[in-house]
Amino acid sequence: MKSALILRGIALTAALLGLSACATAETFEWGTYDAALYAYSKHPEQLPQFEKSLQAAIASGRNKGRVAPGLQAELGYCYLGEGKKVEAIAQFKAEMTSFPESSALMNRIIAQIQG
């Protein structure tokens, strides 16, 4: 009985793992972005954890040459909310370099910060 339950627990977890394994096409390095954003959306006091998750995903993405779209901007936006303007601008510039599609938005935000 007990072992059957454990086995079922394993199977359930494995099924979910299998699902997420399929879901993670390795185009970009996301780290724990979705789980951290989920937690942060639910509990705004978890901003530090969200930041740490972003920092780790970005560092790992840079190593592999596949930083995910938006992560550097998300981190910059966290910094901006904390009044860390220099750090924020650095992240916004990095996002723009990685993804030129973000240039209009990043330039506008940087101009606002500096203005």
Partner 1 sequence: MTFRTLLAAAAAAGCMALGACATAPTPFDYSAFKAEAPHSIVVVPALNNTANVTAPDWFLSTISQPFANRGYYVFPANMVRGLLNDNGLADAGLVHKTDARRLQPLFGCDTVLFIQINKWDAKYVLISTTTEVEFSYELRSCKTNATLWKNTQSLQYTPQGANSGNPIAALIADAIIAAIEKGHPNYMPLARQANLAAAATPGLGLPVGPYAAATH
Instruction: Find the binding residues for partner 1 in span 70-109 (CB under 8 A).
Output: 70-71, 73-74, 76-77, 81, 95, 99, 101-105, 108
Q: Give CA separation, 1 vs 9, 12, 38, 52, 83, in Å.
A: 12, 16, 35, 41, 56
> What is the nearest approach in angstroms of partner 1 to the Cβ of residue 6?
10
SS3 43: coil
- CA–CA dist 27, 13 (Å, integer): 25
* Residue 34 within binding range of partner 1, rule CB under 8 A: yes
Closest CA to 32 of 74, 1, 3: 74
Minimum distance, C-beta of residue 96 to partner 1, in the bound complex (Å):
11
**Phi/psi at 27 (5° precision):** -75, -40
Q: For partner 1, which residue of 28, 49, 51, 85 counts as binding (CB under 8 A)?
A: 28
Q: Give the footprint of partner 1 on this chain (CB under 8 A).
A: 1, 4-5, 7-8, 10-12, 14-28, 30, 33-35, 37-38, 40-42, 50, 68-71, 73-74, 76-77, 81, 95, 99, 101-105, 108
